[in-house]
Structure 1
Amino acid sequence: MRRIVRTVCLLGSLSVSVAAAQTPPAPPAPPSPPSPQLSADECAVWARELGFARSIAEHDRKAFAEHVHEQAAFGAGRAQPTRGRDRIVEEWAGLIEGKRLRLRWYPTRVTIAGAPDIAWSTGPALYQKLDSGAQPRYAIGAYQSVWQRGTDGVWRVLFDDGIAPRPATEAEAMAFQSGRRETCPQR
């Protein structure tokens, strides 16, 4: 009887070993995207984008307007974008005031190509409802902006649009905040 029990135990451990040997290893984690290496001009747009976001965080209507090109189009992908600095500033008045909804964003990529006075920037955007008990409290999306450097050397948003936000968890909101970089990843 002991011989049968020992044989069964041996076969059981052997089958576990065989099964483990036949289980394919877990695939490697995907590589992290490479950190961008930006030129001095791209870093100037990066800094300008952070300043634009700061104008909203500080509820500074004048600073917000100074970041917007006089003939800008916001909601550029919509059938009827908002056109012109004055109309854009008026449409964004509630976000600038920040009484019911807080909007934050930051760049993760800036690119300048063949036209040295045109730049593209993108990054995440976080919306936070400020009403107590609002659910969902957070929503996360993304933005894309096209900047133009004026004859005065100042970069201003010419086109702006975004990805519609989706509800986000508290953890996603914290991850958004920890992903913000103040320093441009310059070459």
Structure 2
Amino acid sequence: MRCLFLLVGLLVSGTVVAQTDTLKSAQLKEQVRQREIAFAQTMADRKPDLFMSFVSEEAVFLNDGDPLVGKEAIAAHWMRYFEGEKAPFSWKPDQVEVSGSGTLGQTTGPVYSPEGKLILRFYSTWKLEPDGVWRIVFDNGYMVCE
């Protein structure tokens, strides 16, 4: 009888742990989703300094296959997209995943022209940095087939 109670107790505790892990995963995914949305808003709001606050010091962005390594190189290249009153493109996540460790996230989604035409699909990797903030460590985009 004792073994039966022990077995039931272990099964119940395993179920609670699994539910807790699922809840934590959902919360982490939502954190990463909200970071991506806020990141995209910096482009719409024309705030380059705020845009760069979402980028890790060790980030790598690929632009037409050429890597931009480090925050300084990324800033130098991306400032051109903040010239003018209107953003040259917009994006939003439609898929978000988080690693089992809860320290890496991946977002992907459509990129639109100012006219609303689908022009690219972005892929970003996020890292939960030691200060507790999610920042992009890898970013790339691919043209979509028409």
Tell me which interval the TM-score lies in, with the shorter structure as reference length: 0.7 to 0.9
Aligned match for 1:161, one of 137, 140, 146 = 140
Q: Partner residue of 1:151?
A: 130
Q: Which runs of 5+ in 2 are unaligned?
A: 1-22
Q: Partner residue of 2:7?
A: none
In 1, distance between residues paired with 2:118 and 2:136? Answer: 23
Q: Is the 8 A contact 2:121 2:143 kept in 1?
A: yes
Q: Partner residue of 2:28?
A: 41
1:102 pairs with 2:88 = yes
Larger C-alpha radius of gyration, 1 or 2? Answer: 1
In 2, distance between residues paired with 1:44 and 1:56? Answer: 19
Q: Is the 8 A contact 1:144 1:161 kept in 2?
A: yes
Aligned residues: 123
Q: Partner residue of 2:50?
A: 63
Q: Is the 8 A contact 1:64 1:89 kept in 2?
A: no
Q: Can you list the C-alpha shifts for 1:63-97, whole angstroms capped at 9, x where unaligned?
A: 1010001110001782x311111111111112123
TM-score (ref. length: structure 2): 0.74
Q: Secondary structure at the match of 2:53?
A: helix
Q: Is the 8 A contact 2:46 2:87 kept in 1?
A: no
Q: Secondary structure at the match of 2:101?
A: coil
1:45 shift after superposition: 0.5
TM-score (ref. length: structure 1): 0.59
In 2, distance between residues paired with 1:50 and 1:159? Answer: 16
Q: Can you list the C-alpha shifts for 1:42-73, whole angstroms capped at 9, x where unaligned?
A: 10010000110011111101110100011100
